[in-house]
Structure formats: C-alpha cells, structure tokens
Amino acid sequence: MTESKKIGQQLAQKAPYAVVFTVVVFIVLFMSSEVVWLNQIFASASGIISIVFLLLYWHGKGGMYFILGLLAPMLAVMFSELPDFLALAWVINGFFNGAALALMAYLYIGKGAQR
C-alpha cells in the first residue's frame, strides 16, 4: 500500500510541469478556435474528480474508485458540445489541466500536513 501512495506522490511532483504544458496548449488553442466555456468547466471538473477517485484507490479505499476514476474522462466527452475537432482538443486539454491542478493541490496539502 505504501508503494501505491508513492505513485500519487510521484505524479503530484510532476504536476507543475503539466500545468505549464496545458497552459501553453490553451494559448495555442485560443489562437486557433473559440472557447466553449461550459465544456471547459465539465472537462476541468472531470479531471479533478478523476484524480480524487484515483487517489482514493491508491490510498487503499477500494477498487470501485479506480473504475470511477477511469470513467470520469468519458463523462467529460459525453456531456460536452463538440462542434469540431478543436472543441475535443479543448476538452482533453481541460481534463488534463484539471487533473494536474488537483495533483498540485494534493502535493501542497500533503506538504502542509507534514509541517
């Protein structure tokens, strides 16, 4: 079980790089197409929900959380309005941005609890 907790910590340590990368992709997408803000809310929320469920699984709370964590991205795509391919790119990038932000929060909350 301690090995599973290390997985979450290792991912969380790389999260700031992921946030920078997704922001760069957002800038490129913003120059290429328009934003559907509701899609971004769904995508970011599903990224956060996915990471929360996966962290619960990695901390030994049960295998059902693993399944729920993997279903979250599908829900983001199902409930998004996707008029073109770039809208899907926005949703995918928003998902990873939300996931990276959730991992950063996990990292900093964990560091705060250790103090």
pLDDT in tens, 76-106: 899 898 999 999 999 999 999 999 999 999 9
User: Would you place residue 112 in the very low, low, confident or very high pLDDT band (cuts 50, 70, 90)?
Assistant: low
Could you give the CA distance from residue 96 to residue 94 in angstroms, rounded to a whole number? 5
pLDDT of residue 14 exceeding 60, the answer is yes
Please, are residues 3 and 57 in contact by the beta-carbon 8 Å criterion? no
With H, G, I as helix, E, B as strand and everything else as coil, classify residue 36. Answer: coil
Please give the average per-residue pLDDT across 48-69, as a whole number: 92
pLDDT of residue 1 exceeding 60, the answer is no
Please tell me the predicted confidence (pLDDT) of residue 53: 95
Could you give the CA distance from residue 109 to residue 114 in angstroms, rounded to a whole number? 9
Tell me the angle at which helices 85-114 and 64-78 cross, rounded to the nearest 10 degrees.
Answer: 140
Q: Phi-psi region for residue 84, left (φ > 0), alpha (ψ -120 to 50) or beta?
A: beta
pLDDT of residue 51 exceeding 70, the answer is yes
Please give the average per-residue pLDDT across 32-57, as a whole number: 93
pTM, two decimals, is 0.88
